[in-house]
């Protein structure tokens, strides 16, 4: 079944040992899946049954944990109508699903799905189901038909609206999701509410720990989603009617009735795609076909270019994956559950219709010739075996070389082939990034449309604070960025008059993102894992204040070469100023300011020194000055402000567009 079921269990997986097998949950459950197509319309999922999907009424028997592939095969038994389910029962043996890291019922490890509730009940009547895990029997009574009410989701984003069964919104704006109330939250052994989906840190609330409220709400920050992409979010209510904590101490073994509602959301913005393209596709359980008709950029019409078709695919589907294979992002389970990460790798189809690993420079061109303004049609999937490409996102691009095509961002995703796990790359959230063991240096990253502008702040060999910047287009739906780094000198000081700067290249930087909040950076200092930074505890999950200005880069149009990076998390702002000292060396100042009124920022610039260099080992930075000068900004709107500099001079600030 394709569902958000058992999100509550997934939360536990992130905190387990990465070496020892560790079971966290044993469950049997009956499930009903819904979809929401408008602000009020919630219906049972009408998706027709297929080879791997029996319907929206499900029976699940699962063993969940981490590194559990090697445990003794778990089994289940109970009042099953064995004649009706046939070979699916598999003698009660669960199947380990490697892509998910979970033991599940059924010969294919896909649990059971029925087209209606009567069919489900005829095959899996209520009663006591017994799981056997590592030789221990765990009886779990699943009785009472205590199905919760279906969640109704309220979605809110400036300018957002329901259209054709999807919620359409501008990804440059925050998106708030709130569930209706769980009517039976206070009933049964326990009530659990879950919310999750693409780019949402799982929210789980149980009545035993949190008796109220009986609804969930989540604000997804602006910049989380990528324009032009569709995503899924959802919520579930779970009634726990059976609990066995004695058979397997320390493991949460339960019987549940679960109801889920999924919503399709679409991110759309004014940013135009790199080139126009129309797609038609026909994909079923056995074969996949897709055609893309594209027109080149006006400046490329009439030039000789090579056309490339390639994919980002789950690593287990790809032949020849090595250390040098380009890896961008990680797979996401289509049921919303989080398990062990599986990398997405760059690949192309061979003559046998199998995906083979590739590097950016080794991609083979589909054709080479003059591309005209009228464009052309490309068959990107031609009767390919669907199981061979399940979960892959297929791309079309063109350029003089494959490396140039990727580095210049001249490519677009054509289609994602449905799978249990899928590669749907995404760009970074706008905000502060860091490596958790490298406190004292960090990165200001903003994505606008298809482009990224970033700065790295660190220290030179003498311990002096310094910085470098990079900007340019992205590839793979914003998940990959490579560009020259620049070091600049000679520009305006904190309180001084304008003077022009000059910049020189200082190597290259490459960013690849596993998801919107985690990635890796390759630069002259080596390879560094990076992730989003909490300005305050749990700051990344705090809803923005009303009237909060835009996060990201700000500048004075009259002072090219100096800029400010600002991010608010709740009622706190972290701001850095990238500028120059009196002798023209690059220097940065930073401060963190409480902003109960997000339109008013009053604090003092801090100066740091003696921290980590670009390539050296970790070295703790020290704050050498708690008050370099006043940091005072008054915001007139989400994109305009007035900064008062030390000495009283005022300058107009606006959001920097790139």
The two structure tokens encoding residue 655 = 């959001």
Q: Is residue 2 part of a domain?
A: no
Let me know if residue 1 belongs to a domain.
no
What is the C-alpha separation between 310 and 315, in angstroms, rounded?
14
Res 503 pLDDT > 50: yes
Phi, psi of 44 (to 5 degrees): -60, 135
The pLDDT of residue 12 is 36
* Lowest-pLDDT choice from 69-83, 144-158, 336-350: 336-350
The tokens for 641 are: 């402000």
Is residue 7 pLDDT above 80, yes or no?
A: no
DSSP H or E run through 540: none
Q: Are residues 491 and 588 in the same domain?
A: yes
The answer on 282 and 258 residing in a single domain is no
> CB neighbours (10 Å) of residue 113?
26
Within-domain flag for 58: yes
| Under 8 Å between Cβ of 418 and 287 | no
The answer to whether residues 455 and 361 belong to one domain is no
Which residues contact residue 447 at a Cβ distance below 8 angstroms, ignoring those fewer than 6 apart?
A: 223, 427, 428, 430, 474, 478
Please state the separation of Cα 553 from the chain's center in Å.
22
Least confident of 323-327, 477-481, 640-644: 323-327
Q: What is the pLDDT of residue 1?
A: 37
- 372 within 8 A of 302, measured Cβ to Cβ: yes
| pLDDT level of residue 656 (50, 70, 90 thresholds) | very high
46-60, 198-212, 452-466 — which is least confidently predicted? 46-60
**pLDDT at residue 141 is higher than 70:** yes
Beta carbons of 262 and 164 less than 8 angstroms apart = no
Provide the pLDDT for residue 379. Answer: 97
Give the residue with greater pLDDT, 510 vs 8: 510
Same domain, 460 and 397: no
The answer, yes or no, to whether residue 270 has pLDDT greater than 60, is no
User: For residue 487, which of 507, 473, 472 has the smallest C-alpha distance?
Assistant: 507
Give me the pLDDT at residue 219, please.
86
Asked whether residue 17 carries a pLDDT value surpassing 50, the answer given is: no
Which pLDDT score is estimated for 171?
85
The domain boundary residue, chosen from 388, 422, 456 = 422
Residue 337 has a pLDDT of 62
Cα dist from 237 to 199, 445, 489, whole Å: 20, 37, 57
Q: Residue 107 falls within a domain, yes or no?
A: yes
Tokens of 323: 């250390």
Whether 323 maps to a domain, the answer reads: yes
pLDDT band at 336 (very low <50, low <70, confident <90, very high): low
Q: How far is CA 385 from CA 287, 342, 356, 389, in A?
A: 5, 21, 14, 7
**Gap between the Cα atoms of 387 and 352, Å rounded:** 13
Residues 494, 585 contacting (CB under 8 angstroms): no
Question: 387 and 258, same structural domain?
Answer: no
Q: Does one domain contain both 237 and 314?
A: no
**71 pLDDT more than 60:** yes
At 266 the pLDDT is: 85
Instruction: Count Cβ neighbours within 10 Å for each residue of 337-367 and write b for 16 or more, e otherwise.
Output: bbbbebbbbbbbbeeeebbbbbebeebebbe
pTM: 0.65
- Average pLDDT rounded to a whole number, residues 211-237: 88
Same structural domain, 300 and 211: no
Residue 272 lies in a domain: no
How much is the pLDDT for 225? 84
Q: Please report the pLDDT score of residue 9 as a whole number.
A: 36
Domain end marker among 235, 267, 299? 267
Mean pLDDT for all residues in the chain: 91
pLDDT, residue 169, reads 86
**Domain presence at residue 91:** yes
327 or 228: which leads in pLDDT: 327
Q: 260 and 310, same structural domain?
A: no
What's the domain count of the chain?
3
Q: Cβ neighbours of residue 610 under 8 Å, at least 6 residues apart?
A: 459, 463, 619, 620, 621, 622, 624
11 and 126 within one domain: yes
Beta bridge partners of 267: 169
Cα–Cα distances in angstroms (integers) from residue 507 to residues 400, 578, 580, 614, in the given order? 23, 19, 21, 12
If you average pLDDT over residues 137-152, what whole number do you get?
A: 97
pLDDT at residue 159 above 90? no
Q: 235 and 371: one domain?
A: no
Tokens matching residue 108:
């294919």
Above 70 in pLDDT, residue 132? yes
Q: How many CB atoms lie within 10 A of CB 613?
A: 17
Three-state DSSP class for 370? strand
What average pLDDT does range 433-443 have in this prediction? 96
Residues 395 and 442 in one domain: no
Reported as a pLDDT band with limits 50, 70 and 90, residue 34 is very high
Q: Which of 146, 352, 136 lies closest to 253 in space, CA to CA?
A: 136
d(CA 181, CA 363): 52
Structural domain ending residue among the three candidates 232, 267, 302 = 267
**How far is C-alpha 544 from the chain's CA centre?**
19
211 & 292 share domain: no
- As given in the structure block, the two tokens for residue 490 are 């000679």
Domain that holds residue 295: 277-422
pLDDT at 170: 83
487, pLDDT greater than 90 = yes
């Amino acid at each position: 079944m394709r569902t958000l079921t058992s999100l509550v269990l997934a939360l536990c997986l992130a905190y387990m040992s990465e070496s020892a097998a560790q079971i966290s949950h044993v469950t049997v459950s009956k499930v009903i899946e819904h979809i929401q197509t408008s602000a009020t319309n919630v219906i049972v999922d009408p998706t027709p049954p297929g080879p791997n999907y029996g319907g929206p009424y499900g029976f699940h028997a699962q063993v969940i944990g981490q590194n559990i592939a090697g445990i003794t095969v778990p089994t289940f038994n109970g009042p099953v109508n064995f004649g009706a389910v046939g070979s699916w029962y598999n003698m009660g043996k669960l199947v380990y699903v490697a892509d998910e890291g979970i033991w599940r019922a059924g010969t294919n490890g896909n649990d059971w799905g029925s087209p209606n509730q009567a069919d489900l009940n005829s095959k899996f009547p209520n009663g006591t189901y017994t799981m056997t895990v590592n030789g221990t029997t765990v009886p779990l009574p699943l009785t009472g038909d205590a199905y919760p009410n279906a969640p109704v989701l309220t979605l809110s984003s400036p300018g957002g609206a329901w259209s054709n069964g999807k919620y359409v919104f501008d990804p440059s704006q925050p998106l708030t999701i709130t569930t209706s109330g769980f009517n039976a939250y206070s009933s049964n052994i326990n009530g659990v509410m879950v919310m999750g989906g693409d780019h949402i840190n799982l929210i789980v609330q149980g009545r035993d720990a949190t008796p109220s409220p009986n609804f969930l709400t989540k604000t997804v920050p602006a910049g989380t989603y990528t324009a032009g992409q569709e995503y899924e979010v959802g919520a579930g209510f779970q009634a726990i009617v059976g609990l066995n904590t004695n058979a397997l101490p320390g493991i949460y073994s339960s019987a549940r009735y679960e109801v889920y509602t999924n919503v399709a959301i679409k991110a759309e913005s004014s940013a135009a795609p790199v080139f126009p393209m129309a797609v038609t596709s026909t994909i079923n359980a056995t074969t996949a076909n897709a055609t893309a008709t594209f027109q080149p950029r006006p400046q490329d019409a009439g030039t000789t270019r090579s056309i490339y078709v390639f994919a980002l695919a789950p690593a287990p589907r790809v032949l020849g994956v090595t250390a040098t294979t380009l890896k961008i992002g990680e797979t996401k389970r289509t049921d919303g559950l989080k398990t062990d990460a599986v990398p997405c790798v760059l690949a192309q189809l061979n003559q046998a219709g199998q995906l083979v690993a590739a590097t950016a420079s080794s991609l083979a061109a589909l054709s080479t010739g003059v591309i005209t303004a009228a464009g052309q049609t490309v068959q990107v999937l031609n009767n390919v075996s669907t199981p061979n490409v399940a979960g892959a996102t297929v791309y079309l691009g063109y350029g003089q070389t494959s490396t140039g095509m990727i580095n210049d961002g001249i490519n677009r995703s054509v289609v994602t082939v449905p799978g249990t796990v899928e590669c749907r790359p995404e760009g970074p959230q706008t905000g502060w990034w860091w490596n958790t063991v490298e406190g004292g240096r960090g990165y200001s990253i903003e994505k606008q449309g298809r482009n990224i502008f970033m700065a790295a702040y660190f220290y030179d060999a003498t311990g002096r604070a310094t910085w470098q910047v990079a900007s340019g287009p992205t590839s793979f739906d914003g998940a990959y960025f490579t560009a020259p780094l620049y070091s600049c000198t000679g520009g305006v000081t904190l309180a001084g008059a304008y003077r022009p700067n000059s910049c020189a290249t200082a190597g290259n930087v490459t960013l690849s993102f596993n998801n919107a909040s985690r990635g890796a950076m390759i630069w002259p200092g080596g390879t560094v894992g990076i992730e989003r930074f909490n300005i305050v505890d749990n700051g990344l999950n705090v809803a923005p204040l009303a009237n909060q200005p835009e996060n990201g880069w700000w500048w004075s149009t009259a002072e090219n070469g100096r800029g400010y990076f600002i991010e608010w998390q709740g009622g706190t702002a972290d701001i850095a100023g990238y500028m120059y000292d009196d002798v023209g060396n690059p220097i940065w100042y930073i401060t963190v300011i409480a902003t109960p009124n997000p339109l008013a920022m009053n604090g003092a610039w801090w100066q740091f020194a003696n921290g980590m260099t670009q390539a050296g080992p970790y070295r703790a930075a020290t704050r050498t000055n708690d008050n370099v000068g006043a940091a005072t900004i008054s915001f007139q709107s989400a994109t305009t402000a007035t900064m008062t500099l030390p000495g009283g001079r005022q300058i107009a600030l606006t959001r920097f567009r790139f």
